[in-house]
Amino acid sequence: MLAVILSGGSGTRLWPLSREAYPKQFLPVVSEESLLAETIDRGLSLDPSTRVMAITNEEHRFVVAAHLQQQAAGRTDGIVLEPVGRNTAPAIALAALAAAEGNPSELLVVMPSDHVLRNRQAFEAAVAVGAKAAEAGKLVTFGVVPTAPHTGYGYIRAGADEGGYSTVDAFVEKPDADTAQRYLDEGGYFWNSGMFLFRADRYLEELGKHQPEMLAACKAAYAGRESDMDFVRVGREAFAACPDDSIDYAVMEKTQDAVVVPMDAGWSDVGSWSALWEIQPQDESGNVFRGDVITEDVSGSYIHSEGRLIAALGISDHVIVETDDVVLVADRNRVQDVKKLVAQVKAQGREEHRFHKKVHRPWGTYEGIAMGERFQVKRITVKPGASLSLQKHHHRAEHWVVVSGTAMVVRGDEEILLTEDQSTYIPLGHRHRLSNPGVIPLELIEVQTGSYLGEDDIVRFEDTYNRV
């Protein structure tokens, strides 16, 4: 079995915690592990021989690679990069094409990287039932046993019972409150989990039957693939020509072989702050607190602090989320409208929808500390053994002060080894490179001075990570 993890999303429904450059699947929003880490663990736990393949995009590739290297070393089938987003049906087709090269009847269990499943045993039991149906040529979807008349999910109407699973009568769109309640009262309806299980050859066969243009584009893109480190880059032009559609619309709603396996595993797509409030343990007043929080006379609220103390008094049914650059305060019943705030941030030309104050790079992180006219101060952390690109800047000079660890600095024709409390200066226009030759993280303070301090003022000459 191959666990195919879809990790191309950059949603902002959990903004400001989730940002485009570092979205919710990379964050520990429920436990101490990120949602992606939990998804990888679930895939690996299905069977000792199960392998993992990730489908992601250019921007998120190094974060996904770091997760797989840490958790699934020796059990990965690579990371396929989508050059442009084309929804779930083409993404899964790329995984099926890759799997079919080795074994056309390979079972693919498809899982979004940003969902929560609290009962792993129930999940594994559902997959075991689904595997039997998939081996027989069925296309399996997992239907979540509903616990409430939820209007934020699509539903699946089950048909005839086939013994552990049922035929699919229909996929239905997100209902209004009355319709959702009727679904619960009638029974036989399940939330659409967005998780699937089928043989690689059967998915490709059904995709070719119902979306031949999509399959042809995916085949052409995969035929033009190139390998780059841990990544498989498919042909950009061919994939860009691929129709954009979800697996539900492209295949599952059209095939005669769709079946649904009921799953009661504590599932949530963590699609909003209210959903996150719902799935976590609440205190006697119905509150969920994370981080440094003190309250008085607060009920039904979700309060999340990333650093600073949040003090709340006399409020009900609120969401308060603090990061180092944004504070969100919202009515808990209005959090679906967070996207309207994000739209305003974008319209103002700001960056808070895209980046956190701490920005992740394949070599480590950097974090803005202070900025003014013609200067900027950053805290830089370089992972052991990692190296930044050999580069220069047209508009700024840099001063580096080592706080802890060891820095190997290339400056023009020089190589300098710096340790704690030592510093160096990189003049404007000089080629330079920063590396960490040590076994502990390198921490340093960078002071930039110059007429332009944007991140795009970088000319790269060499780069370990093959960035442009």
pLDDT mean over 71-94: 93
Q: Cα angle vertex 292, ends 445, 114, to 5°? A: 80
pLDDT for the residue 389: 95
CA distance 96 to 107: 9
Question: For the chain, which domains are there?
Answer: 2-268 (3.90.550.10), 273-346 (no CATH), 358-462 (2.60.120.10)
Residues 25 and 102 sit within 8 Å (Cβ to Cβ): no
Q: H/E element holding 408?
A: strand 407-411
Is the pLDDT at 394 greater than 80, yes or no? yes
Quickly list H helices, 300-371.
338-347
pTM of the model: 0.89
Can you read off the two tokens belonging to residue 239?
A: 């994939």
Residues 77 and 105 sit within 8 Å (Cβ to Cβ): no
Is the pLDDT at 9 greater than 80, yes or no? no
Q: Is the peptide bond before 362 cis (omega within 30 degrees of 0)?
A: no
Is the pLDDT at 416 greater than 90, yes or no? yes
Q: How many H helices and E strands in the chain?
A: 11, 30
CA distance 348 to 3: 41
End-to-end CA gap in the chain = 36
Instruction: Write the pLDDT tens digit of every residue in 216-253.
Output: 999 999 999 999 888 999 999 999 999 999 999 999 99
Instruction: Write the pLDDT tens digit of every residue in 309-363.
Output: 999 999 999 999 999 999 999 999 999 899 999 999 999 999 999 999 999 999 9
Strand order in the sheet with 288-290: 288-290, 302-305, 318-322, 327-331
CA distance 339 to 12: 7
CA distance 131 to 136: 9
pLDDT for the residue 8: 82
